Structure 1
Amino acid sequence: MATVELYLVRHGQTYLNKYHRIQGWSDSPLTAKGIADAKNAGERLAKLPLAAAYASDTNRAQTTAQHILTANQALAVGDLQTEPAFREENFGYFEGLDTGFVWHAIGSPVGLDSFNAMIRHLTIEKTKDMFKAQDPYGDAEDNAEFWERVQPALDRVVAQASDGDKIVIATHSTTIRSIVSKFGPDIDISVPVDNGSITKLTVKNGHYRVDDYNNTTGKIN
């Protein structure tokens, strides 16, 4: 089977990021800093011979991917493929609310008052389940529902690739953290994913391996 390299890029900063609002399936445009985040990722990946490029169907991910491809020497903006399954976690009822309020409301009953603390002490998988359990409408995704959409999409991307392909995916913070938690369990994902950062995975014979997490300044191979 093929060996494929996946480069997961978190979208640039958005207005909801700037205002510290929950932004899962909700969406908002990139800020000036967010555009700079995307362009910086594009510069870092410019010489990488990309074989394919994907983004979730959110405006923030697609705009980020477009800036990346504008700088790339192998692909053009028109090569971008949209994959809704690479969306962020769905936070349901909590979408758009102030992050500090939400983290406190969900985590403080168990002695945790931030998203990073919940991930560190409960795991990101159990944290998703907590959102689902406390959503009065039941719209938030639990961990099983999240992976029912994300894993088949990852596998499709890999299956369509050729041996040695390098592929970029513009996606989201919790999506990246969840992927790294599953395939790189020794990596500390309580460290937040920065806007515009690059996380690299290698998939060989169907086995996913995390090579780099949340790289913001280092060399990208």
Structure 2
Amino acid sequence: MIKFNLYVVRHGQTYFNIFNRLQGWSNSPLTEKGIEGAKDTAKKLANIKFSAAFCSDTTRAMHTAQIILDANKAGSVDQPLTSPLLREEFYGYYEGNDMPQTWYVAGAPHGLPTFKDIVNKYSIGKAKDYLKEADPFHMAEDNEEYWTRWNKGLDFIRSDKNIHDGDNVLLISHGNAVLSLVERFGKGKYDVTERPANGSLTKLEITDNDAEVTGYNIQ
């Protein structure tokens, strides 16, 4: 069994982030602030040697990943491996919709009008379930569907032959995806009602069949 360090960076700021819209599987480009933020993160990680790098196949993740890898001075990989398995949650009918409005529609029928209310009473997983329930097309991912996909994504990372015991691995990810990792593997040590900042770092120790969060929303 090997253990490696997964450096999970939330992508740089996008226009949908400014407009406070859900962007799941949809795309909006990095803003100038988002590009500069990614460059700032790149400087902080410039001397860390990564044996592999991964991101979703969304442009915001790929752009952020390339900025970080291009600035790396430790002889890391040149390009990230991309996979749809590593995408953000799919919000179905509510892709691109106003974030507070969407979570109101999902949670209000249960007496929980905000995302934070749902998470405080239940979990991020329950929020996913409520959103699928509210989706008139029922295409949004519920918690089981989301983790079926992401378990495959984590196995995709684990299976990389370039990763050895003690190595560092880069993953460019998304806000809700980072929160979901922290909820599942953080052992209750972190406040998952607090969204990770764009460009922030969350660290996990990954083994063959488990993971543990060792730092969250580091800026």
The TM-score normalised by the length of structure 1 is: 0.92
Q: CA distance change for structure 1 residues 64 and 77 in 2, over 3 Å: closer, same or farther?
A: farther
Equivalent position of 1:164 in the other structure: 166
Specify whether residues 171 and 2 from structure 1 end up closer, same or farther in structure 2 by C-alpha distance, changes over 3 A only: same
Q: Within 2, Cα distance between the matches of 1:119 and 1:3?
A: 30
* CA positional deviation for 1:76: 5.9
Aligned counterpart for 1:192 among listed residues 166, 190, 195? 195
Residue-by-residue CA offset, 1:116-147 (whole Å, 9 max, x unaligned): 23222220011101111111111100011111
Contact 2:55 2:173 in 1 (8 A): yes
> 2 CA distance for matches of 1:16 and 1:39?
20
Partner deviation per Cα, 1:157-203 (whole Å, 9 max, x = no partner): 12322111100100101111111111113122111111111000002
Aligned counterparts of 2:177 and 2:157: Cα–Cα separation in 1: 16
Counterpart of 1:140 in structure 2 is 140
Cα separation, 2, equivalents of 1:112 and 1:147: 23
Q: Match for residue 68 of structure 1?
A: 68
Q: Secondary structure of the equivalent of 1:21?
A: coil
User: 2-side partners of 1:77 and 1:182: how far apart?
Assistant: 29
**Residue in structure 2 matched with residue 182 of structure 1 by the alignment:** 184
Q: 1:79 is paired with a residue of what secondary structure?
A: coil
- How far residue 205 of structure 1 moved from its aligned partner, in angstroms, is 4.9
Asked whether the equivalents of residues 24 and 95 of structure 1 are also in contact (C-alpha less than 8 Å), the reply is yes
**SS of alignment partner, residue 201 of structure 1:** strand
Which residue of 189, 208, 214 maps to 2:217? 214
Matched, 1:78 2:72: no
2:118 match: 118
Q: Which runs of 4+ in 1 moved over 6 A?
A: none
1:16 matched to which residue of 2? 16
Offset, 1:154: 0.9
Write the letter of the residue equivalent to 1:145: E
CA contact (8 A) 2:66 2:79 kept: no
TM-score normalised by L of structure 2: 0.93
Segments of 5+ residues of structure 1 without an aligned counterpart are: 217-221
CA contact 1:4–1:164 (8 Å) conserved in 2: yes
Equivalent residue number for residue 34 of structure 1: 34
Q: Which consecutive unaligned segments of at least 5 residues does structure 2 have?
A: none
**Separation in 2 of the partners of 1:114 and 1:68?**
34
User: Which residues in structure 2 correspond to 1:40-119 (within 5 Å)?
Assistant: 40-75=40-75, 78-119=78-119
What is residue 206 of structure 2 aligned with on the other side? 203
Cα separation, partners in 2 of 1:196 and 1:184, compared to 1, 3 Å: same
Determine the C-alpha separation between the residues in 1 that align with 2:11 and 2:213: 19
User: How many equivalent pairs are there?
Assistant: 216
Distance 1:165 1:46 in 2: 15
| Alpha-carbon distance between aligned partners in 2 of 1:86 and 1:164, rounded to the nearest angstrom | 22
